[in-house]
Copies of this chain bind each other. A is one copy, B any other.
Amino acid sequence: MRLHHIKAHAFHAPRLGEVQEFTDVLISLDETGTIVAVTEGADHPDALVLPAGQILIPGFVDLHVHAPQYPQLGSALDLPLEDWLQHYTFPLEARYADLDFARTVYDTLIADMLALGTTSALHFATIHVPATNLLAEICLSRGQRAVIGKVAMDDPDACPDFYRDASATDAIDGTRAVIDHIHAIAGKDGLVAPAITPRFIPSCTDECLHGLGKLAAETGVRVQSHISESDWQHGFVRARTGRSDAESFAHYGLLREYSVFAHGTHLSASDMELLRDHGAGVAHCAASNAYFAGAVFPLRRALDIGLNTGLGTDISGGPNPSIFEAARMTVAASRIRARGVDADIAADARGTAEPAIDMATAFHLATRGGAQALGLPVGAFEVGMKFDAMAIDTLRAEGTIRPFGATGLRLLEKVLHTASRPNIVVVWTDGVQRVGS
């Protein structure tokens, strides 16, 4: 069902620090789902009118998803990163040589993400070209806006025999094959787009990384990877290359506009500037950082220097698939970072004392912030953007929001803190309804 006009009580956060409420807005779309008018107080005879108690917000952007890891979501999170990868994650990802298995998982995941209001996602797939192509097809048919990469990982010293690219050439050729397939099925500016996806520097040879850098320059597609995620990873890269992760990605030609790097807990100030100056961004994964990163990402510092940042669930390094949960954990982790953890230390020396991130800022990061990092024309209700949005029923008994008459920003905060899946009643991408009856 294609939408042409909708009237709603709506909220969006088009710019950092700015939440805007429309109490009664008419949003009009063209035949491609692009917003052509946003007019407070206007009417249209054919408009879909959201009932009282429902609010409209932009769909969420999840900047870091390992789609194949969905089967192990919420389990086995007590191990160090390296053990978790070798003993749980790589054996699971290896199973995506089986396309039937891949279809079952990916179809469930994309349906669930859309039902949770995640209209855009940046996906790591696996090393397998056919299963990665299949993920792209499923996103296209279910209507999730997605940027998807075949994972490249070819270093025999770091990757197990049962799960790695046979060579740098294989990793690069496979990446190119997925790029070509996605361009063939979705067009060059379609709902689904490819990403060059070195897993992280420790899993790739220099030959592979240089080759992927050349491919990025040649094709102009986005890059995604992990960056400075843990003490182990951060130290490993510096020992091997003599450079930080950020400097290394720049060296390989992989630090590019609208490229997104996950975690970044250990990025230095100059690393952050390097990312910003190349137009790259960070996927902030507050939940998974609590499990694997060993520190809280300096989000305030990133925002203060103008580094593009959005939120990631990091399925399954993070235990929950909802960007609502990611936003909640972002706010809590930011407060803990600012105030510190140990009351045995004096209050003024306990934390970093940066101003903490509030829920309104997390809302921006979950919507327009993430979209901006990927260069996607979504995340706010503005003319020229695609209409990706969700209707939230704040009154549904089976849901978990209890407004008790709250209005304005207080109502939005309640929604962001307490909404759950039953509250999300309709989801659209490109102006087409993807979830809802």
Contact = CB atoms under 8 A, between A and B. Distances in A.
Contacts of A72: 404, 406
A290 B322 contact: no
A320 B417 contact: yes
A348 to B, nearest CB: 9
A32 interface: no
A64 B10 CA distance: 34
Interface stretch (A154-162, A237-245, A329-337): A329-337
A396 to B, nearest CB: 11
A410 B87 CA distance: 14
Nearest to A401: B74
A332 B290 contact: yes
Given A70-B404, A347-B231, A417-B319, A341 B336 contact: yes
B335 A291 contact: yes
Contact of A333 (B291, B332, B352): B332
Interface string A203-242: 0000000000000000000000000000100100000000
A215 B415 CA distance: 42
Contacts of A319: 328, 417-418
Category for how many chain A residues contact B: 35 or more
A399 B116 CA distance: 11
A343 B265 contact: yes
A422 interface: yes
A287 B332 contact: yes
A189 interface: no
Given A335-B290, A400-B321, A266 B343 contact: yes
Nearest to A403: B71
Nearest to A346: B231
A66 interface: no
A170 B275 CA distance: 63
A395 to B, nearest CB: 12
A105 B402 CA distance: 10
Contacts of A359: 77
A75 B406 contact: yes
* 4 closest A-B pairs by CB: A74-B417, A71-B404, A319-B417, A295-B343
18 contacts: A70-B402, A71-B404, A71-B405, A73-B402, A73-B414, A73-B418, A74-B417, A77-B359, A265-B343, A266-B343, A287-B332, A294-B340, A295-B350, A298-B342, A332-B333, A337-B341, A340-B341, A398-B422
